Amino acid sequence: MSTEATGPRLHAIYAPIAADLDRLDEFLGREFHSIEPFICQLLTHIARFRGKQIRPALLLLVARLTGGEVTDDQLKIAAVIELIHTATLVHDDILDDAALRRNVETIHRRWGERAGVLLGDYIYSRAFSLSTEVEGMAAVLSATTHTICEGELLQIGNRFRPEIGEEVYFEIIRKKTAILYAVACYLGGVLSGADEEDAARLRSFGMDLGMAFQIIDDCLDYSGDESVVGKSLGTDLHQGKMTLPLILLRESLDREGAKALLESFHGPMTSSLESRIATQVRERGALREANRRAQSFIESSRSAIAGLDPRLRESLEMVADYVLRRQR
């Protein structure tokens, strides 16, 4: 039995929005279609990447438990958020040269990089176009996407810089990951008439939740099982991505050890060097410590929503619990 099984299951968490998720599915099904055979083939393929859909589900949970019936506008914005996320995945897979996504071959591996780059652009622009159909949404969602790209660029600019500290890492993941969780929760509130204070609480909940999500993701890159996670793992170190487990390993080492670690990033990253560092990360408590950081973001996310309606609060807490315990 996996750890995940001891925590809340997505199926139970999503129960209040089961019908809304069906509508979302239909909506996205129509979006992942084109009369052009080649484009349709690509869209049908990436439709298979659809996974937990946590971001739109958060928006829908907030909307339903705040305002009742989920409106067409709310559904549309939930779809836009999933589309933006999908576009980032398609481009991420090229950047990481990942072979698999949800155990399915990635776009660029099957149809080449040019198809991957353009399909991402195609989905981004469709998401923006859809967002203009709901008053006030386009500004928030395009600015959010801009921040995501900024975070990803910061990550690239800090590759193979083993000296960076936690604060740089936290800034990167806040921008590249957490903000979309924050905005999903925030817009769920705004679109169902929550007052400013509650909307700010929801935003803050989403931000902390997103931070925890990314930290767990970065831990799974060292500790996960590819067949369970459904994507290529162990790639962060190879690409010189300074994620939290590696930063914490460096901090846990004595002067001599830290110096050796820093120096190992100066030359080429051989696979034996990689496997030595990865073993250190696993064995010297860095993963445990990183998980503790994730735990503390989850606690912070819980406090942010302490003042909300109990039904909504409990529902969001289940999501938080899920994010912390997930194995994939």
What residues line the site for a copy of itself (CB under 8 A)? 34, 36-39, 42, 91, 94-95, 111-115, 117-122, 124-126, 128-129, 131-133, 138-139, 142-143, 145-146, 148-150, 152-154, 156-158
- What's the CA gap between 39 and 42, in Å, rounded? 5
> Among residues 148 and 190, whose Cβ is nearest to a copy of itself?
148
| Selection from 172, 150, 153 nearest residue 247 by Cα | 172
- Retrieve residue 80's tokens: 């836009």
Q: Which residue has the tokens 């705004």?
A: 190
> Among residues 66 and 144, whose Cβ is nearest to a copy of itself?
144
- What's the CA gap between 295 and 301, in Å, rounded? 10
- What's the CA gap between 19 and 60, in Å, rounded? 10
Q: Which residue has the tokens 């176009």?
A: 129
> Among residues 114 and 292, whose Cβ is nearest to a copy of itself?
114
- Min. distance of Cβ 22 from a copy of itself in angstroms? 26
- Min. distance of Cβ 154 from a copy of itself in angstroms? 6
Q: Which residue has the tokens 């700010």?
A: 200
Q: Are 246 and 277 in contact (CB under 8 A)?
A: yes
- Min. distance of Cβ 303 from a copy of itself in angstroms? 31
- Min. distance of Cβ 27 from a copy of itself in angstroms? 17
- Min. distance of Cβ 153 from a copy of itself in angstroms? 5
> Among residues 243 and 280, whose Cβ is nearest to a copy of itself?
243
> Among residues 94 and 305, whose Cβ is nearest to a copy of itself?
94
User: Which of the 8 DSSP states describes residue 105?
Assistant: E
